[in-house]
C-alpha cells in the first residue's frame, strides 16, 4: 500500500478520486469501503475540510460491481455511520472548545469560515445540517457551529441522521445507476470535478454577492 502511494503525490490523490479509488481497490479490495468511510468521517466534522467526500462516495457507487464482497446496503451502512460519527465529533468539539478553535489567521479554521458557517446555520436552522452535507467546507464546520451554539442534542442528532442518509444515499444511488454507462464509468474524475464545482457554486455566488454588497456600502 505504501509503495503504491509513493508513485503519486498526496495532491494527486486528493484531486483525482478515480486514481485514489483504483489504488485503494487494487491494494485493499473490500476494505476500500472502510478507507472511504474514514475520509467521510474526517470530512464530516473533524476539522479537515479538503477531502473529496462527494466524489469518493459517487465513484464508490460506480465501482460497486468491482467489490462483490461488499453489498451496496453494507457500503451505505458503513458510510452512513461514518458520516454521523464525524458530525458528532464536530458537535462535541464545538461544545467543548467553542470559538477558541478558530483563529483570524488560520487557513481552514478561520474566523471568516466560522462566521460564514454561523450565517448558514442561522439562515436554515436545523435544516442546515442537511443542506451543509452537499456543500464542501460548510459540511465540516456546521456541526461545530451547532455545538458552539449548544443546539439541543436530540434535535442535532435527528437532523444529522437525515442529512447523512440523504447525502450518502443520493451520491451512492447516482453512482450505482450511472456506473453501467461506459461514458460515466470511464470518466469518474471529470464527473467528480463537476460534482465539486456544482457543490461549491452556492458558496461562490454568496461570496460574489457579499463582495458586491460591501462595495456598495463603501461608496
**What pLDDT digit, counting tens, does each position of 116-162 carry?**
778 878 787 778 888 888 877 778 888 888 888 888 889 899 999 99
Torsion sign, CA atoms 9, 11, 16, 21: positive
- For residue 31, is pLDDT > 70? yes
Domain boundaries, the chain: 2-218
> What are the beta bridge partners of residue 103?
110
pLDDT band of residue 110 (cuts 50, 70, 90) is confident
69, pLDDT greater than 80: no
Look at residue 197 in the predicted model and tell me its pLDDT: 64
Give the integer Cα–Cα distance in Å for 200 and 50.
12
Question: Which of 55-59, 155-159, 184-188 has the highest average model confidence (pLDDT)?
Answer: 155-159
Distances in whole angstroms, Cα of residue 144 to Cα of each of 87, 93, 150: 8, 6, 10
Percent of the chain, pLDDT > 70?
Answer: 63
Q: Is 84 helix (H, G, I), strand (E, B) or coil?
A: helix
pLDDT at residue 33, rounded to an integer: 84
Place of cell 473533524: 46
Amino acid at each position: 500500500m505504501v509503495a503504491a502511494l509513493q508513485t503519486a503525490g498526496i495532491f494527486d490523490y486528493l484531486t483525482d478520486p478515480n486514481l485514489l479509488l483504483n489504488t485503494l481497490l487494487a491494494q485493499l479490495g473490500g476494505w476500500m469501503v472502510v478507507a472511504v468511510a474514514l475520509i467521510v468521517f474526517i470530512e464530516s466534522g473533524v476539522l479537515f475540510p479538503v477531502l473529496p467526500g462527494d466524489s469518493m462516495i459517487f465513484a464508490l457507487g460506480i465501482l460497486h460491481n468491482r467489490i462483490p464482497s461488499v453489498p451496496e446496503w453494507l457500503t451505505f451502512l458503513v458510510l452512513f455511520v461514518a458520516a454521523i460519527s464525524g458530525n458528532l465529533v464536530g458537535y462535541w468539539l464545538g461544545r467543548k472548545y467553542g470559538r477558541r478553535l478558530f483563529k483570524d489567521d488560520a487557513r481552514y479554521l478561520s474566523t471568516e469560515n466560522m462566521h460564514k458557517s454561523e450565517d448558514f446555520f442561522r439562515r436554515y436552522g436545523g435544516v442546515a445540517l442537511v443542506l451543509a452535507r452537499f456543500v464542501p467546507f460548510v459540511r465540516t464546520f456546521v456541526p461545530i457551529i451547532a455545538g458552539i451554539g449548544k443546539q439541543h442534542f436530540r434535535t442535532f442528532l435527528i437532523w444529522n441522521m437525515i442529512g447523512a442518509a440523504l447525502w450518502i444515499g443520493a451520491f451512492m444511488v447516482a453512482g450505482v445507476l450511472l456506473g453501467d454507462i461506459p461514458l460515466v464509468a470511464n470518466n469518474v474524475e471529470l464527473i467528480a470535478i463537476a460534482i465539486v464545482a456544482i457543490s461549491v457554486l452556492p458558496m461562490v455566488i454568496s461570496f460574489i454577492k457579499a463582495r458586491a454588497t460591501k462595495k456598495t456600502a463603501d461608496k
